């Protein structure tokens, strides 16, 4: 693969590990391999590196280092937060979420309902055609019986950003705990938990240039918490398992890079994304942006194109070395829209492509795609 030329526009699926992150991780495999709980100097070195990474992670979220728990991934952070909140209020039986959550939240919430005998009641907030929820409907869901709200900060398919600050403040006024899955938001928009009063927040390293297999759970000081993984007393008894020193150090570095990117690079990504969207919409009659008109992540373009199939376009682009995602899963010629696009009432005769840009993309790549994709669609149709 070395030296192979390709265009990567699938950064919401995963990102390239940044060279600075690889460098930050390197010492902890062969040289500084100690267990951070050990009483000798190698252990102390590992523990110091974790403490340093924790400070950098806390700085990205504007919280204190003691509010950061390292996990294995975004999914683990989501599940831990939801289970912890529900165990804290066993008498309350309602969970509020949205129709467009990632399966990490969606599938757990559905598993908590009556159908599985667990006797939770689920309120699933709908979204409109622009992928946005209704704050009136949300307010009505905050009943005396509501234990927890779990709503994503930004959507992985469309990039639509929910008004988490407003929602978390409303939940707090009603005494309802609030979790947000901020996995797609990290490094793309500012995340400040001093301004946004969430109780729990999840991140995943591989979405912002750290490796796969490391996640973060923020738990506000004073918000109730029960460990999901019990065992040794790591992470101050909140997440057992020997700490993954190398990946934690890498994640700390990735947080530092994300903060730098937010101060400058992100605007370049937004310009590229806008150039891509405007170019494609001009060249492809009838193409529309899913979530257009709603606040969106600066890197995400989810475009629906009449009379095409997203999976076919993904395959054709792949043959040209271009990596993107589709918005539907197709088997034996039958396509099932993703639950996100279905919730937004996207008509089934459109094919959707998700193009998610990152800091490595260039204007030339965007221009190449704007020229190539309309030609490909024409060929497909004829
Ligand atoms: N939440 C969102 C919004 C995501 O996009 C993803 C991954 O795609 C996850 C959670 C799960 O993260 P992980 O792959 O680290 O478990």
Tens of pLDDT, residues 333-376: 778 899 999 999 999 889 999 999 999 999 999 999 999 999 99
What band does 117 get if pLDDT is binned at 50, 70 and 90?
A: low
**pLDDT at site 332:** 72
Nearest CA to ligand 1 atom 9: 74
The verdict on the CB of residue 255 being under 6 Å from ligand 1 is: no
| Annotation marks residue 330 as catalytic | yes
198-220: average pLDDT = 98
The predicted pLDDT at position 379 comes to 85
Q: Tell whether ligand 1 has an atom less than 6 A from the beta carbon of residue 183.
A: yes
Q: Which two tokens stand for residue 287?
A: 């193409």
- Answering whether pTM is above 0.95, one says yes
Per-residue pLDDT for 123 more than 90?
A: yes
User: Candidates 184, 209, 214, 354: which one to mutate for ligand 1, based on the most atoms within 8 Å of Cβ?
Assistant: 184
Q: Which H or E run includes 54?
A: helix 41-61
Question: Which ligand 1 atom is nearest residue 73's CA?
Answer: 15
Longest dimension (CA), the chain: 70
254 lines ligand 1 (CB under 6 A): no
Q: Are 63 and 193 in contact (CB under 8 A)?
A: yes
- Catalytic, out of 63, 109, 330, 335: 330
- For ligand 1, the distance from its centroid to the CA atom of residue 265, given in whole angstroms, is 23
> CA 223 → CA 72, 130, 183, distances in Å?
22, 33, 20
Terminal-residue alpha carbon distance, the chain: 34
- The DSSP secondary structure of 167-233, one letter per residue, reads HHHHHHHTT-EEEEE-TTTTTTS---TTTS--SEEEEEGGGTTSPTT-EEEEE-TTS----SS-SS-
CA distances from 16 to 144, 206, 207, 357 (A): 45, 8, 9, 12
Tokens at residue 281, please?
């919409």
Determine the distance separating the centroid of ligand 1 and the alpha carbon of 257, expressed in angstroms: 20
The Cβ of residue 36 has, within 10 Å, a number of other Cβ atoms equal to 19
Q: Which residues of 160-175 are buried (b: 16+ CB within 10 A; e: fewer)?
A: bbbbbeebbebbeeee
Q: How many CA within 13 A on the CB side of residue 56?
A: 21
- Per-residue pLDDT for 108 more than 50? yes
Q: What is the pLDDT of residues 68-79, one digit of tens each?
A: 999 999 999 999
């Amino acid at each position: 693969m070395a030296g192979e030329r390709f265009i990567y526009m699938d950064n919401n699926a995963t990102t390239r590990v940044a060279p600075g992150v690889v460098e930050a991780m390197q010492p902890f495999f062969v040289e500084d391999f100690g267990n951070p709980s050990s009483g000798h100097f190698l252990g102390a070195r590992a523990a110091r590196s974790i403490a340093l990474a924790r400070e950098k992670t806390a700085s990205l979220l504007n919280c204190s280092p003691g509010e950061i728990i390292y996990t294995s991934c975004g999914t683990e952070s989501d599940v831990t937060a939801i289970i912890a909140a529900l165990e804290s209020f066993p008498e309350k039986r309602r969970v509020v979420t949205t129709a467009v959550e990632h399966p990490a939240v969606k599938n757990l919430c559905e598993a908590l309902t009556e159908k599985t005998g667990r006797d939770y009641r689920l309120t699933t907030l709908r979204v409109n055609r622009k992928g946005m929820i209704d704050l009136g409907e949300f307010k009505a869901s905050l009943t005396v019986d509501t234990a927890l709200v779990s709503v994503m900060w930004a959507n992985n398919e469309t990039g639509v950003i929910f008004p988490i600050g407003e929602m978390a403040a409303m939940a707090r006024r009603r005494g309802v705990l609030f979790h947000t899955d901020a996995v797609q938001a990290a490094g793309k928009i500012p995340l400040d938990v001093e301004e946004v009063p969430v109780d729990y927040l999840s991140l995943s390293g591989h979405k912002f240039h750290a490796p796969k297999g490391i996640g973060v759970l923020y738990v506000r000081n004073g918000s109730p918490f029960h460990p999901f993984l019990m065992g040794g007393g790591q992470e101050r008894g909140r997440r057992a398992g020997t700490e993954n020193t190398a990946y934690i150090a890498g994640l700390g570095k990735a947080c530092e890079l994300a903060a730098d990117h937010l101060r400058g690079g992100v605007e370049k990504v937004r310009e590229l994304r806008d150039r891509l969207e405007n170019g494609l919409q001009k060249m492809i009659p009838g193409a529309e942006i899913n979530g257009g008109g709603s606040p969106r992540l600066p890197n995400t373009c989810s475009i629906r194109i009449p009379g095409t199939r997203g999976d076919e376009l993904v395959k054709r682009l792949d043959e040209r070395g271009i990596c993107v995602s589709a918005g539907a899963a197709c088997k034996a010629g039958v396509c099932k829209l993703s639950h996100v696009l279905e919730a937004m009432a996207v008509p089934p005769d459109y094919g959707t492509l998700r193009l998610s840009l990152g800091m490595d993309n260039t204007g030339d790549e965007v221009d190449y795609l704007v020229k190539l994709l309309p030609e490909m669609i024409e060929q497909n149709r004829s």
